[in-house]
Chain A
Amino acid sequence: MSPALHADVWAAPLIVGTVLAVGAYLVAVLDAAATRVVAGTGLAPDVLIEPLRRAALLVVQQRVVTERPDAASWALAPAAYAGLAAAGLAVVPWSPSFSVADVDAGIVVWGTVESLAVVAVFLHGWSPNSHQPLMAAYRYVAVGLSCLLVSMFVLIAVALPAESLALNAIVDAQAGLWNVVRHPLGLPLFAVVALGITFWGPMDLADGADLSGGTSAEASGSQRLAWQGARAAMLVSFAALGSAAFLGGWHGPVLPGPVWMAAKTAALLALLVAAGHLVARVRAERFVTWCWTVLLPLAFLDLVVAGLGALP
């Protein structure tokens, strides 16, 4: 392999920030479009404007605070969550010679991103000192920790055929056969983990409407906007990792590698966003039971399949 090209210290935040900002906007547009399609009201070009209008509204809205919150963690939670999304995206390779940060334990970095994301969401619900965000925070931790174990098996299964923890090598090993075919359980399990950790759609247990918005029930104004942006950014990062780990990353005919990566990431994003409108929300206790008794054994099976396939 050619020597990896690194983004320098100044270009890295710019590249990652741009991709996440564009991606978060795309998520908002897809979400608005899916809402219209599912409701049957028909698509109109204003789905492109609607997210911007709502964002502008939040910027000018007055910020409401609760009684005696933990102000520092409340303010830091969206920043931490967005920072984790950025760290996760940074280790994802875009072409054989370019990833923003070429870390030789990239897949383990993702284990860290996922577990710290659970902490960030918990703090976002805990720090306002208000009961509904707090209940949502505990509920989310139960789901998030259950997802983490499944995620661990699935990510190890991805690293096995490549015999490397580096994401670059993992994409490289999919030149002949994508992981989605090689061990077909991986991508569906990863999608559940992604929805669970990013509390999106059917797995929206952290910010669900059943708890008046859950951890963001008390968030308002620019802080609410920051949280929603960070949330969409995390979904983008997960989609980028999913494309690299399961859909062959930069591999594809004719078009250059980064274009394939962007296309696959967008397709996966569309799938994840659509799930939010087509699948009913799960109940936390039922999901946790289901996760430990069904998903975890399936994840182990996925690991066995990947391991057998990797035998010489």
Chain B
Amino acid sequence: MSPADLPVGADVAFWVFALAAVATGYRVFRTDSMVRSAFLLLASFLNVGAILLLLSATYLGVALFFMMTVEMMVMAIFMVAFMMNSAGLNPMSMTHRSGRAAVVGWLAFAGGAAVALAGEFPDRPLPPGTDVIGTLGEELLGDSMLTFETAGVTLLATMIGAVVLSSRRSRFGDEAGDDASLPPTLDPETGEYPAGVIAERSGGHGGHGDHGGHG
């Protein structure tokens, strides 16, 4: 028998996971590196997933684990790629406009706390023998199928579009090489690049200004 089967064990586990989720969520903004920040957020999500497991939502909990893991991994990579901090180990502040953010944060906390204190939550233990995953599958692929399929196809189209737009090869063919992925110019009027950019990237044959316009 696992500890979660015991009522007391479940309560203790709930509080451990809940406090860990809040503590790691807090640390997301108090740490000093984007990579640490991303993985602390992941730790927070993993604790929420563990609470879902306590609620007998096995599939949802485990699905939350792997979806959040992949998302946070990709997020960490992208944050590091787009910021001028190639390793993510250099100390930097994780907050912006902390005054306003604090006000909004406390308001959101008050709202959530009000729901938690004033709301009425169902208190129905799962009847033994319920096929939780089967029921969830019926819900997703039964009456709500149109909604989920529409969302799914839209997301797929977005992903393919994003890959096509960002891929170095697909927009202007292989031979275009780096020319096809030059960044937008700094001066939109003249379409000129800062000194050095063209020479470094392609050896300076004509027509780069046009490509910049598509970005």
**Residue contact A141 to B69, C-beta cutoff 8 Å:** no
Is A105 interfacial (CB-CB < 8 Å)? yes
**Residue contact B73 to A118, C-beta cutoff 8 Å:** yes
Contact code string B24-42 (vs A, CB < 8 Å = 1, else 0): 0000000001011001001
**Residue contact A119 to B73, C-beta cutoff 8 Å:** yes
- In which size bucket is the chain B interface? 20 to 34
Contact code string B59-100 (vs A, CB < 8 Å = 1, else 0): 100110110011011101100000000011100000000000
Among A54-62, A107-115, A194-202, A210-218, the stretch that binds chain B is A107-115
Please pick, from A8, A70, A105, A116, the residue contacting B69 in the complex, using a CB distance under 8 A: A116
List of A residues within 8 angstroms of B87 by Cβ: 126, 129, 134
Query: Distance (Å) between the CB of B153 and the closest chain A CB?
Result: 15
**Residue contact B133 to A105, C-beta cutoff 8 Å:** yes
Contact (A112, B69) CB under 8 Å given A70-B36, A104-B58, A126-B87 = yes
Size of the A side of the interface (Cβ < 8 Å), in residues, is 28
**Residue contact A103 to B58, C-beta cutoff 8 Å:** yes
Interface centre among B33, B36, B62 (most CB of A within 10 A): B62
What is the CA–CA distance of A72 and B68 in the complex, to the nearest angstrom? 22
Please pick, from A68, A70, A123, A165, the residue contacting B59 in the complex, using a CB distance under 8 A: A165
Is A287 interfacial (CB-CB < 8 Å)? no
Query: Distance (Å) between the CB of A295 and the closest chain B CB?
Result: 16
Q: List 21 A-B contacts (CB under 8 A).
A: A9-B2, A9-B3, A68-B89, A70-B89, A73-B36, A105-B59, A109-B62, A111-B62, A111-B66, A116-B66, A118-B73, A119-B42, A119-B73, A126-B87, A126-B88, A126-B89, A129-B87, A129-B89, A138-B77, A141-B73, A165-B59
A interface list, Cβ under 8 A from B = 6, 8-9, 68, 70, 73, 103-105, 108-109, 111-112, 114-116, 118-119, 122-123, 126, 129, 134, 138, 141, 145, 148, 165
